Amino acid sequence: MSQSFAIQLDNVSKTFGRRRKRVEAVRQLSLEVSAGQVFGFLGPNGAGKSTTIRMMMDLIRPSTGSVYLYGRSVQNNPSLMRRVGALVEGAAFYDFLTGRKNLEILARTGDCYNPDQIQNLLVQVGMADRADRRVQGYSTGMKQRLGLAAALLNDPDLVILDEPTNGLDPAGIQDVRHFIRDLAEKQGKTVFLSSHLLSEVEQVCDQVAIIHNGRLVQTGKVADLLSAQAIVRLEVTPADRAMGLLLPRWGVTENGRWLEVQAAREDVPEMVQRLVAAEVQIFQVMVQQQSLEALFLAATAVDQPQPSSEATAHA
């Protein structure tokens, strides 16, 4: 396995229960995450995201397949986890202690105590002025910010974040977005991000993977995925001639004075050339790129095929 990849999942499956209670949470999932990027991991509830993250952290073992971090198997390799920091399923702290004291205890437990590092992290996550208050008085958003600091105490190479903006207001979400980008761009860390806020994922992630029913259904660079399909709106005359020219190649619908064409952004020059050559008059051309939300909904709208009985037996 290559160390240029922070994460590699090789045909990983995870099954819980037996016989009638058998549940396949993750099915033959293969994934590669290059080091130094922000990678979004998306899927509806029950898709297998949390199970996958637990396998990456060696909290549970896969039924089949292997998980590698930086080219090394996570199984029976506890020292590898020193390169990982995580905020998973919400931040949990001792309520009767201050935020700073909680971080100090976690740092000492992890053999990475450095008071200057703790103070720097508190500043970075916007908690320096509230660090000496008891956690029982913190809001959910404040706990999330403290959780981000806790995930970075050991200066990890890989940061795994599960819903890091939970409980934050819009300004706080923006702060965390910039913070995550800085982790990759300025500190060279790899961030593996699971979130339901698709607009935020679209803005912060370099690549994404979408899973549904435990299977990988879409993966790639965010820009490439979003530009692969768009709606091109054309105001033309005569519309019937234009539709006849475009229909053999693209899906076209008529919406008032507009023709709406399902096409990639890169297809627009060819589309215009065809219309001009046929003396169709073009008044306006508008390209509406799909959002990550639209891509996500399309990718998870239809149930994926169930695995064969042979594959089930093997899992």
- DSSP lists the bridge partners of residue 230 as 263, 289
Rounded Cα gap, residues 160 and 81, in angstroms: 11
Rounded Cα gap, residues 243 and 257, in angstroms: 13
The per-residue pLDDT for 62 is 94
The pairing of strands 5-16 and 64-69 is antiparallel
Rounded Cα gap, residues 159 and 13, in angstroms: 23
179-183, 224-228, 258-262: which is most confident:
179-183
Instruction: List the domain boundaries for the chain.
Output: 5-220, 230-289
Q: Which residue has the higher pLDDT, 196 or 142?
A: 142
Average pLDDT, the chain: 88
What single letter denotes the amino acid at residue 125? Answer: V
Residue 304 tokens read as 């994926």
> In percent, how much of the chain has pLDDT > 70?
94
Q: What is the dihedral of CA 142, 145, 149, 151, to 10 degrees?
A: 110
The per-residue pLDDT for 85 is 94
Three-class secondary structure of residue 44 per DSSP = coil
Judged by average pLDDT, the poorest of 9-18, 138-147, 164-173, 286-295 is 286-295
Same topology for domains 5-220 and 230-289, yes or no? no
> In percent, how much of the chain has pLDDT > 90?
63
pLDDT tens for each residue of 156-168: 999 999 988 888 8
The topology (CATH level 3) of 230-289 is Alpha-Beta Plaits (3.30.70)
Q: Which residue has the higher pLDDT, 14 or 91?
A: 14
What single letter denotes the amino acid at residue 53? Answer: I
CA separation, residue 236 to residues 92, 232, 244, 261 (Å): 59, 12, 13, 12
| Confidence band of 310 (pLDDT split at 50, 70, 90) | very low
| CATH match of 5-220 with 3.30.750.24 | no
Q: How many helices (H) and strands (E) in the chain?
A: 11, 14
Three-class secondary structure of residue 133 per DSSP = coil
Rounded Cα gap, residues 159 and 193, in angstroms: 8
DSSP 58-117: TSS--SEEEEEETTEESTT-GGGGGGEEEE-SS----TTSBHHHHHHHHHHHTT---HHH
